[in-house]
C-alpha cells in the first residue's frame, strides 16, 4: 500500500475517544482537499476506513430504527388482537378494525416508511459526500 | 355455461407475451443484453417489471382463496409479501447493486472471495427457484381445469413451454418488457371487475358478509366435491364427502359447516384470541418473519437489481415497487370477502383458489359483462403464471449457465434455460396435491433462512467469513429444506411439531443468523483481507465517483 503521510499521529489515545469524531476533527483541522480525502478512502488509510465505518454505521442505524418502527407498528398487531380481543370488534365505516388495519392501512404505512428511508439514507450519503469533497480552506 | 371468451383471452395473453418477447429479441444481441438488459432499463419500467415478476399465482389467486377460507388471520400474507420489499429496501437494495454482482453466487465471490461458497449458493438458488416454479406450473394447470375444463397437464405444459421458449429466445431484455406489461395487466384484471362487483353488491341491497345465521346459497346449485371433508348439516347431523360426490342445494339453503374451513362468522371475521391456541400466534409470527425476510433471498427478485444503473436508482426503484405491490394487494382481499357472499360453494368443493376466476360469473350472471370480466380475470391469472415463471427461469438459467455450464455464452444460457425449465415441469406433472400457497410460503422460509442472513451480514458486518456463511446457510437453509421435505412427503403431524414444520421460519432464521455469527467469530482469521475496500464499494455514494 502506498502509504500517504499519516495526517497526524493521534494525539489522544486512540482507544479512548470514538474514532469517527477524531477523524472529522482531523479532516477539518488539516483542511485536506477533496482529492486527498478521496485517496484516503480508496487507499484504505485509517482515516478513510473510519470514514466508511461511520457511514455504514449511520446507514445501519437508520435501517434498524425504521425496522423497529415497522416491528412495533405492524408486529404488535397480532399480540394486541390476541391480548385485547375487544380491539378486533371495533368498527370503523362498518368495517372491523383488523380488516381495515391489515387490509388497507398496512400498505400506505409501509410505503411511508420506505419513503422516509430513501429520503434519510440519501441525506446520510449527501453528508458523507460533502465531508469527503469539502473544499480546501 | 361455457364462457366463449375464456380461451381466446388466455391465448391472447400468451401471444402478446411471445410477441413482446420477439420484439425484445430484436433488441437483444449480446450476452450482456440477454442477462441484465445491459443495465439500461429505466426505473419505472424496472419497478413495474419487478412487480409483475413478483405477483405470482399465490398473490393473484391464492390470497383471495385463503381469505375466503380462513378470514382475517391470513391477511398477513399480502402484508408480509409487501413488507418483504421494505426489508429489501432497508438492508439490501443499494449496497447489493453497488457490489456489481449479478447473481447471489456472484455476491458470495465479491464479498468473501470464495469459489466453493459460490457453488453452495448456486445449489440453493436452483433449489429455491425450482421449489417456487412447481406451484406456478401447477396453478396454471388447475386454473385451466377450473375455468375452461381442459386437462390439468395441458395448462402446466402450455405455461412451461411458452415460458421456456420465451426466456431462451429473448433473455432478460425481453423479459423486462414482458414483466412490466404483465404487472399492469394483472392490476387491471383485478381492479376493473372489482368495480362491477361492488356495484352489483350495492344493487343486491348490500348483503351482509357474515350474516348472523351463517352463509347461505343465493341460487340453486349443484356442488361437485374435490377435496374429502366432513360436513355438519343444519339439522346437526354430519356427513363425510369424498371427491366426486355431488350435493344439490336450493336458493336460500344454509351452507353446511365444512371441517378445516372457518365457516362460523365471528371466527372468520375476528383475529384468533390469546389462550385459544398459542400455536396460531406462533404460526402468524413465523409467517410474518418468512415473508418479511424471504423476499430478499428469492433469486428472481435479486437478479432484477442489477438492471438498475446505480445504488441510488436501485433504492428508488424498490420504493416504487413497494407502492405498486401494495396497490395490488388491496384487491385480493375484496375478492375473498365478496366470495363469501357469492361463491360459498367453493368452501364445500375445496377449490377456494378458484374464487378470483369464479366470482365475476357467479356475481354478475352469465350475461356479456360477466363473461367478459371472467375472461379478463382468467387472462390476468395466466399473466401471473407466465411472469413469475419467466423471472424464476431467467435467474435459475442464469446461474446454471455461468456456474454449472461454465462460460455464460448465449448458447449456454439457452441450453441452461431448457434444463432449468424441464425439471420443474416434470415435477409439476408428477407431483399433485401440493397446496400452492403453502409451497410458496415454504420457498420464502428457505430463502429467509439461507440468503437473508448471508446478505444482511455480508453487507453490514465486516466480521463475516466464508466458513461462517457456509455454516449458517447449511444450518438454517438445511433445516428449512428438511421442513419442506417433511411437509411434502413426510407423515401427518399434529400439535406443536406440525406447527414448527409447517411454518419453520421462526426458528430456522434465528438459527441461521446465530450459526453464521458464531462460526465467523470462531474463524476470525479467515476474514477477507480486502473487506475494507469491499465495504467502501458497497456503501460509498455514487456522487463521489471513486
Contact assignment for B540 to A52 by CB distance below 8 Å = yes
Q: Which residues pair with B239 in a beta bridge?
A: B231
Across the interface, whether the CB atoms of B269 and A106 are under 8 A apart is answered no
DSSP assigned state of B476 = I
Q: Inter-chain contact A114–B322, Cβ cutoff 8 Å?
A: yes
Distance from CA of A13 to the nearest CA of B (A): 23
User: Which stretch of B21-30, B48-57, B301-310 has the lowest confidence by average pLDDT?
Assistant: B21-30
Residue of B nearest to A102 (CA): B75
Among A93-102, B105-114, B122-131, B532-541, the minimum mean pLDDT is found in A93-102
**C-alpha to C-alpha distances, B490 to B86, B484, B485, nearest whole angstrom:** 34, 9, 7
Tens digits of residue pLDDT in B282-323: 777 888 888 889 888 888 777 777 777 788 888 888 999 999
Question: A109, A110, A133: best mutation site toward chain B, by most B Cβ within 10 Å?
Answer: A110
> Distance between CA atoms of B500 and B102, rounded to whole angstroms?
34
User: Nearest-CA distance from A64 to chain B in Å?
Assistant: 8
How many inter-chain contacts (A to B, CB under 8 Å) are there? 137
Q: What is the DSSP letter of B490?
A: S
A79 touches B at CB < 8 Å: yes
Phi, psi of B231 (to 5 degrees): -100, 145
What is the Cα Rg of chain A in Å? 23
A65-74, A80-89, B53-62, B391-400: least confidently modelled range: A80-89
Contact B271 A88 (CB under 8 A): yes
Cα distance between residue B228 and residue B74, in whole Å: 23
What DSSP character marks residue A135?
P
Contacts (Cβ under 8 Å, ≥6 apart) of A66:
A113, A116, A117, B90
Nearest CA-CA partner of B477 in B451, B517, B442, B450: B450
Residue A115 has pLDDT above 90, yes or no: yes
A102, A109, A116, A131, best to mutate vs chain B, most B CBs in 10 Å: A102
Q: Which residues of B touch A63 (CB under 8 A)?
A: 90-91
**How many helices (H) and strands (E) are present in chain A, helices listed first?**
7, 2
Reported as a single tens digit per residue, the pLDDT across A58-79 is: 889 999 999 999 888 888 887 7
B546 contacts in chain A (CB < 8 Å)? 38, 41-42
E strand or H helix at B240, and its extent? strand B238-241
Residue for grid cell 457456509: B470
pLDDT above 90 (res A112)? yes
Q: How many C-beta atoms surround the C-beta of residue B266 within 10 A?
A: 12
* Cβ contacts of B543 on chain A, cutoff 8 Å: 125-126, 129
Is the per-residue pLDDT at A39 higher than 70? no
Cα B311 to chain center, whole Å?
Answer: 25
Check CB contact under 8 Å for A67 and B284. no
Angle formed at CA B356 by CA B353 and CA B357, multiple of 5 degrees: 95
A83 touches chain B (CB under 8 A): yes
Tell me which chain A residues have a C-beta less than 8 angstroms from the C-beta of B202. none
Amino acid at each position: 500500500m502506498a502509504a500517504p503521510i499519516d495526517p497526524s499521529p493521534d494525539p489522544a489515545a486512540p482507544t479512548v475517544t470514538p474514532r469517527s469524531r477524531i477523524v472529522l476533527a482531523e479532516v477539518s483541522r488539516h483542511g485536506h482537499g477533496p482529492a486527498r480525502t478521496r485517496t484516503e478512502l480508496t487507499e484504505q488509510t485509517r482515516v478513510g476506513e473510519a470514514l466508511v465505518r461511520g457511514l455504514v454505521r449511520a446507514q445501519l442505524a437508520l435501517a434498524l430504527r425504521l425496522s423497529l418502527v415497522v416491528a412495533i407498528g405492524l408486529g404488535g398487531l397480532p399480540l394486541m388482537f390476541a391480548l385485547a380481543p375487544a380491539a378486533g370488534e371495533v368498527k370503523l365505516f362498518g368495517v372491523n378494525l383488523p380488516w381495515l388495519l391489515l387490509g388497507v392501512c398496512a400498505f400506505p404505512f409501509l410505503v411511508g416508511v420506505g419513503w422516509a428511508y430513501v429520503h434519510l439514507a440519501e441525506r446520510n450519503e449527501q453528508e458523507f459526500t460533502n465531508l469527503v469533497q469539502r473544499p480546501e480552506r | 355455461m361455457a364462457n366463449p371468451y375464456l380461451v381466446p383471452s388466455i391465448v391472447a395473453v400468451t401471444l402478446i407475451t411471445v410477441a413482446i418477447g420477439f420484439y425484445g429479441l430484436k433488441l437483444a444481441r449480446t450476452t450482456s443484453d440477454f442477462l441484465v438488459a445491459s443495465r439500461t432499463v429505466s426505473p419505472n419500467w424496472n419497478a413495474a417489471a419487478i412487480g409483475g415478476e413478483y405477483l405470482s399465482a399465490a398473490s393473484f389467486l391464492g390470497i383471495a382463496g385463503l381469505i375466503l377460507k380462513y378470514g382475517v388471520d391470513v391477511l398477513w400474507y399480502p402484508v408480509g409479501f409487501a413488507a418483504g420489499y421494505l426489508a429489501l429496501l432497508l438492508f439490501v437494495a443499494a449496497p447489493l447493486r453497488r457490489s456489481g454482482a449479478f447473481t447471489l453466487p456472484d455476491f458470495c465471490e465479491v464479498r468473501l472471495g470464495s469459489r466453493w461458497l459460490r457453488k453452495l449458493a448456486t445449489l440453493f438458488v436452483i433449489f429455491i427457484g425450482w421449489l417456487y416454479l412447481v406451484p406456478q406450473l401447477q396453478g396454471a394447470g388447475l386454473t385451466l381445469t377450473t375455468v375452461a375444463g381442459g386437462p390439468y397437464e395441458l395448462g402446466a405444459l402450455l405455461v412451461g413451454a411458452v415460458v421456456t421458449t420465451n426466456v431462451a429466445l429473448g433473455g432478460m431484455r425481453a423479459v423486462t418488457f414482458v414483466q412490466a406489461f404483465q404487472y399492469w395487466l394483472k392490476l387491471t384484471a383485478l381492479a376493473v371487475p372489482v368495480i362491477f362487483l361492488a356495484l352489483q353488491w350495492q344493487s343486491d341491497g348490500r348483503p351482509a358478509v357474515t350474516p348472523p345465521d351463517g352463509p347461505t346459497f343465493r341460487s340453486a346449485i349443484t356442488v361437485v366435491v374435490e377435496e374429502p371433508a366432513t360436513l355438519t348439516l343444519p339439522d346437526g347431523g354430519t356427513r363425510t364427502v369424498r371427491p366426486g360426490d355431488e350435493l344439490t342445494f336450493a336458493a336460500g339453503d344454509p351452507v353446511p359447516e365444512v371441517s378445516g374451513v372457518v365457516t362460523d362468522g365471528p371466527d372468520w371475521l375476528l383475529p384468533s384470541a390469546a389462550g385459544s391456541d398459542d400455536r396460531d400466534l406462533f404460526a402468524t409470527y413465523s409467517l410474518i418473519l418468512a415473508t418479511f425476510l424471504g423476499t430478499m433471498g428469492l433469486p428472481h427478485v435479486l437478479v432484477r437489481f442489477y438492471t438498475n444503473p446505480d445504488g441510488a436508482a436501485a433504492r428508488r426503484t424498490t420504493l416504487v415497487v413497494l407502492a405498486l405491490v401494495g396497490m395490488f394487494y388491496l384487491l385480493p382481499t375484496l375478492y375473498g370477502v365478496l366470495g363469501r357472499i357469492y361463491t360459498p360453494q367453493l368452501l364445500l368443493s375445496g377449490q377456494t383458489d378458484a374464487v378470483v376466476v369464479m366470482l365475476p360469473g357467479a356475481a354478475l350472471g352469465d350475461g356479456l359483462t360477466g363473461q367478459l370480466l371472467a375472461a379478463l380475470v382468467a387472462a390476468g391469472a395466466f399473466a401471473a403464471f407466465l411472469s413469475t415463471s419467466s423471472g424464476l427461469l431467467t435467474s435459475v438459467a442464469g446461474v446454471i449457465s455461468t456456474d454449472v455450464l461454465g462460460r455464460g455464452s448465449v448458447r449456454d444460457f439457452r441450453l441452461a434455460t431448457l434444463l432449468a425449465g424441464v425439471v420443474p415441469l416434470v415435477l409439476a406433472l408428477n407431483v399433485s396435491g401440493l397446496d400452492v400457497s403453502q409451497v410458496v410460503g415454504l420457498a420464502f422460509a428457505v430463502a429467509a433462512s439461507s440468503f437473508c442472513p448471508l446478505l444482511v451480514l455480508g453487507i453490514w458486518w465486516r466480521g463475516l467469513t466464508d466458513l461462517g456463511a457456509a455454516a449458517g446457510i447449511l444450518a438454517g437453509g438445511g433445516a428449512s429444506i428438511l421442513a419442506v421435505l417433511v411437509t411434502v412427503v413426510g407423515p401427518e403431524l399434529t400439535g406443536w411439531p406440525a406447527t414448527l414444520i409447517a411454518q419453520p421460519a421462526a426458528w430456522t432464521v434465528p438459527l441461521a443468523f446465530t450459526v453464521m455469527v458464531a462460526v465467523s467469530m470462531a474463524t476470525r482469521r479467515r476474514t477477507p483481507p480486502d473487506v475494507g475496500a469491499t465495504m467502501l464499494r458497497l456503501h460509498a455514494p455514487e456522487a463521489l465517483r471513486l
